[in-house]
Amino acid sequence: MRKSYPTSSRKQAKIIDMLQTSKLDQVLESIEMLPVEDQEMLAELLRKRLIERRRDEIAKTIAQTQKDYKEGNIFRGSVEEVIAELNR
């Protein structure tokens, strides 16, 4: 997802995007130089870290939802009731 920048900083944003792409290219080139076994191990490590990150995000969402529920910030009802509430 690309960030939106004010007109005055679009040039800076473009430079930042290019640098980030360049860094990613450098990382990928370095990975390609590794033996296949190391590349597979790295891929597995990244997969596990992404799974853990997603678990953390889910846990945070659950905690926030529980907090909102306790504070009465969650509306419960049928679809019709929700629509009626939104139309008020």
Q: Tell me: the pLDDT tens digits for 42-74?
A: 999 999 999 999 999 999 999 999 999 999 888
Among candidate residues 27, 20, 26, the one with its CA nearest the CA of residue 42: 27
DSSP at 34? S
3 in Cβ contact with 16 (< 8 Å): no
Same-domain pairing of 42 and 24:
no
Q: Please check whether residue 30 is in contact with residue 38, taking contact to mean a CB–CB distance below 8 angstroms.
A: no
Q: Residue 73 sits in which domain range?
A: 35-88
Count of structural domains within the chain: 2
If DSSP codes are grouped into helix, strand and coil, which group holds residue 72? coil
Most confident of 19-28, 47-56, 75-84: 47-56
Together in a domain, 78 and 43: yes
In this structure, the answer to whether residues 45 and 24 fall within a common structural domain is no
Instruction: Return the amino acid letter for 44.
Output: E
> Is 78 found in the same domain as 47?
yes
Written as six digits, the tokens of 66 are 């529980």
Say what the pLDDT of residue 76 is.
Answer: 82
Per-residue pLDDT band at 80 (split at 50, 70, 90): very high
Same domain for 49 and 66? yes
Asked if the model's pLDDT at residue 7 lies above 60, the reply is no
pTM: 0.58
56 and 83 together in one domain:
yes
pLDDT given at position 82: 86
Q: Are residues 23 and 41 in the same domain?
A: no
